[in-house]
Amino acid sequence: MADSPLQFRARVRHEPDRSYAVLVDGPEGEVLVGTTRSMREVGRMAREGAARLFGVTTEQIAGDYLDVVIPQPPYGRDGQWVRIVSAGESADPDDSVDLGVAGQAHWFDHEGAWFVTVAGSGTAIYPSEHLDFAPVLTDDEVAELQRYLARSAQPPS
């Protein structure tokens, strides 16, 4: 292996079933290295896939040398309303966001996830698999969220 570190590139393709296909740019072009339903698994799958394709160990593919591009999924729009349906296995048990609450989502490209603002709770980051992008909202939920967002947009006095 040369003195300079190897650079690896991978990308996520959002599948119609809402799984994530992980593709790595290999020596002979882009290769599908696996699919997952968990955003937490994407980095590991990309690292292991790149190691296999290039014949190196996963330790040789440090985080700084693996660029994983995660585009905004086609089923989500910036500013749309969502419902939180899962907190995931790594959720902080002290997290104040309750499952089932509605919020407004904005794509956070750098994280490959969504900023979700919930009335009374603030904003947290959620991967796509934790959100319902076609929620049925009550009039009360809509009004509460609109009031909260309007107050949040006000400059401090």
Report pTM.
Answer: 0.82
Tokens (6 digits) for 150: 């309007």
As a whole number of Å, the CA-based R_g of the chain is: 19
DSSP string over 71-96: PPPTT--TT-EEEE----TT--TT--
User: SS3 for 3?
Assistant: coil
For 138, phi then psi, to 5°, come to -80, 160
- Domain locations in the chain? 8-69, 81-153
- Give the architecture-level CATH label for domain 81-153: Roll (2.30)
- The class level of CATH for 8-69 reads alpha beta
Tens of pLDDT, residues 10-62: 999 999 999 999 999 998 899 999 999 999 999 999 999 999 999 988 888 87
Tokens (6 digits) for 85: 């349906």
Task: Give the model's pLDDT for residue 4.
Answer: 47
